[in-house]
Amino acid sequence: MKIDHFVLTVESIEDTCAFYNSVVGLNTITFVGTDGEIRKALQCGESKINLHQVGQEFEPKAGHVMPGSADFCIIVSEDIESLVSRAAKLGVKVEDGPVSRTGAVGPLMSVYIRDPDHNLVELANQLL
């Protein structure tokens, strides 16, 4: 099994895309939903993070949508120290780390940051 996608409800799709492009290195993709609506997502390996504008969510949706309620981990290929350096240059504060954590398949070296909606984003290197 694997995760195909999950949804973040955000205040600004543009700000969210800019953050994840510049800080994390994810690419923004545009696609047409089955309802014909143009949508945005962040490509994350073989998965994606669909973006819903708060107040304009697509149906069906979670029971209690709100920006800033997510807490998730993205495995990155970039060295954590390089990522921390770039984040600092972009004015992004590291909340915690680098710290050792346990991921789905083994040990991680992680840092924690907040995105524009204050979601807690763990960025990690796998230590296999």
**pLDDT of 63-109, one tens digit each?**
999 999 999 999 999 999 999 999 999 999 999 999 999 999 999 99
Residue type, 122: E
Around Cβ 126, how many Cβ atoms within 10 Å?
Answer: 14
Q: Is residue 122 among the annotated active site residues?
A: yes
For residue 107, what are its two tokens? Answer: 């040990």
Provide the 3-class DSSP secondary structure of residue 54: coil
The active-site residue out of 46, 59, 95, 122 is 122
Query: Tens of pLDDT along 31-62?
Result: 998 888 899 999 999 999 999 999 999 889 99
| CA atoms of 101 and 69, how far apart (whole Å) | 21
Q: Does domain 5-126 have CATH number 3.30.420.40?
A: no
Q: Could you give the C-alpha distances from 31 to 34, 42, 73, in angstroms and in order? A: 10, 11, 24
Q: Write out pLDDT tens, residues 10-33.
A: 999 999 999 999 999 999 999 998
Residue-level pLDDT at 77: 94
Q: Which letter does DSSP use for residue 26 in this model?
A: P
Predicted confidence at residue 58, as pLDDT, reads: 87
Q: Give me the pLDDT at residue 33, please.
A: 87
**Domain map (residue ranges) of the chain:** 5-126
